[in-house]
Amino acid sequence: MGEDAKKVFTLAEVSKHSSLKDCWLVIEGKIYDVTGFMEDHPGGEEVLLSSTGKDATDDFEGIGHSSTAKAMMDEFYVGDIDMATIPKKRKYTPPKQPYYNQDKTPDFIIKLLQFLVPIFVLGLAAGIRFYTKSQ
């Protein structure tokens, strides 16, 4: 069992092998030639075809393949993928929330009111108490 260096292919090169008669898969950075396995694949050949020409890691993992399935992969291993040629997965970015301040009241006035209104209410309460007491 030698760790012999396998050839590195680009995704474009791998994509040329996307038919029933010639089928390569990219799974976890490795390239597998599953041409001879197509008919024997328990999941069917169509599903393998649909995973060609791209990084099929998520497809493969998504099925939850058994360790038996994973052990079979060695014999199909033909090379490694140049990861730089695989398009980056689009990350989900939450849409930016619009900033609603439609009356255009400047922020500092709001801050000022938030400070002054409670003081005013307290003063009012104190005033009412003062006048009702003295009567």
What is the C-alpha to C-alpha distance for residues 58 and 44, in angstroms, rounded to an integer? Answer: 17
3-state secondary structure (DSSP) of residue 107: helix
Q: Which of 11, 14, 31, 48 binds ligand HEM (CB under 6 A)?
A: 48
- Asked whether position 51 contacts ligand HEM by CB under 6 A, the answer is yes
Which residue type occupies 54?
Answer: K
**Contact track, ligand HEM, 14-43, x by CB under 6 A:** -----------x------x-x------xxx
Count of alpha carbons within 13 angstroms of residue 135, beta-carbon side = 5
Is 59:69 a contact under the CB 8 Å cutoff? no
- Binding residues among 55-84 for ligand HEM as defined by CB under 6 A: 56, 59-60, 63, 65-66, 68-69, 72-73, 76
**Smallest distance, ligand HEM to C-beta of residue 1, A:** 19
